Amino acid sequence: MNKLSEKIMHAVFFVAAIASIIAVLLICIFLFANGIPAIGKIGLFDFLLGTSWKPTDVPPSFGIFPMILGSIYVTAGAIVIGVPIGILTSVFMSHYCPKRIYKVLKPATELLAGIPSVVYGFFGLVVIVPVIRYLFGGTGSSILAASVILGIMILPTIIGVSESAIRSVPQSYYEGSLALGATHERTIFRVCLPAARSGIMAGVVLGIGRAIGETMAVIMIAGNQPRMPAGILKGVRTLTANIVIEMGYAADLHREALIATGVVLFIFILIINISFSVLKRKENKQ
């Protein structure tokens, strides 16, 4: 009976793994089969490096370079804001936080992950955008507003993964460093954090993937202007926002160009994950 249940579970796990692989393959086939021909029609350099996105003009222009820069700038801003706060919060929760506060702080950070994107967008629209407008002028819908809201959105991912990585560092590392005369702070930042670097990097990469793939919140507060970024206080349009905004009425080459935009976004995510895998292998070899 035990052997039979074991074989059944093996079959269930195998089917689940195959289903995941098939789902990824189907997505890749759909994206590349519909996107690559559009890039061929438009021209690779005209598509990737073109600075004008005017699908309704005659002839139309499909340059996504402003959206590529917009996605990079917004994601970079989210990293600058979210990564230091997330890592320092995880250090506080794992080594400094009293138990009474931890019981409140841990569920609060987990709750951040469950808040829908549209709620973050509303928060940005009624709080962050007016504050930026008051402090710096302009409309308030800008790269800075999108970076702030995305920095908040990636916090639960970075905090959760980084805290687990820091707690998984053997206690002997901490005790050995203290025994050699290092202070509590020096031990944490010179011994525990480097030992947990791989897990922390995993959290950062997951956060970057969340930031670069976010759509709804960015649409609501980034300004959605398909032009070259002109500063952190100016509006911008990201790759994801471009797809969502125009897919509802797009047709023919316009629709194919939007799918090709999805191909570029998919490649971005792939490059980020491959880079992380390469770094992790180098660390393991060392």
Amino acid 283: pLDDT: 60
Amino acid 58: pLDDT: 76
Q: Which domain holds residue 261?
A: 61-285
Which residues does 245 contact at the CB level (< 8 Å), separation at least 6?
219, 224, 237
Please give the Cα distance from 272 to 244 (Å, whole number): 23
Please give the Cα distance from 150 to 67 (Å, whole number): 17
Amino acid 1: pLDDT: 60
Amino acid 247: pLDDT: 84
* Tens digit of pLDDT at every position of the chain (286 positions): 677 778 888 888 889 889 989 998 998 888 888 888 888 888 888 888 888 888 887 788 888 999 999 999 999 999 999 999 999 999 999 888 888 888 888 898 888 888 888 899 999 999 999 999 998 888 888 899 999 999 999 999 999 999 998 988 888 888 888 888 888 888 888 888 888 888 888 888 888 888 888 888 888 898 888 888 888 888 888 888 888 888 888 788 888 899 999 888 888 888 887 877 777 676 666 5
Residue 59: is the preceding peptide bond cis (ω within 30°)? yes
Q: What is the 3-state secondary structure (H, E, C) of the chain?
A: CHHHHHHHHHHHHHHHHHHHHHHHHHHHHHHHHHHHHHHHHHCHHHHHHCCCEECCCCCCEECCHHHHHHHHHHHHHHHHHHHHHHHHHHHHHHHHCCHHHHHHHHHHHHHHHHCCHHHHHHHHHHHHHHHHHHHHCCCCCCHHHHHHHHHHHCHHHHHHHHHHHHHCCCHHHHHHHHHCCCCHHHHHHHHHHHHCHHHHHHHHHHHHHHHHHCCHHHHHHCECCCCCCCCCCCCECCHHHHHHHHHCCCCHHHHHHHHHHHHHHHHHHHHHHHHHHHHHHHHHHC
CATH number of the structural domain spanning residue 124: 1.10.3720.10
Closest by alpha carbon to 120, among 46, 219, 37, 225? 219
Alpha-carbon distances, residue 157 vs 6, 100, 103, 150 (angstroms)? 34, 23, 18, 12
In this structure, is residue 107 part of a structural domain?
yes
In this structure, is residue 37 part of a structural domain?
no
Amino acid 112: pLDDT: 87
In this structure, is residue 14 part of a structural domain?
no
Domain count across the chain: 1
Alpha-carbon distances, residue 66 vs 62, 228, 235, 257 (angstroms)? 11, 5, 11, 15
In this structure, is residue 116 part of a structural domain?
yes
In this structure, is residue 39 part of a structural domain?
no
Closest by alpha carbon to 258, among 92, 111, 62, 15? 62
> What is the CA 115 to chain-centroid distance, rounded?
16
In this structure, is residue 174 part of a structural domain?
yes
In this structure, is residue 145 part of a structural domain?
yes
Asked if 38 contacts 257 with a C-beta cutoff of 8 angstroms, the reply is yes
Region class of 182: left (phi > 0), else alpha (psi between -120 and 50), else beta: beta
In this structure, is residue 8 part of a structural domain?
no
Amino acid 272: pLDDT: 81
Amino acid 224: pLDDT: 83
Please give the Cα distance from 167 to 170 (Å, whole number): 8
Please give the Cα distance from 92 to 157 (Å, whole number): 16
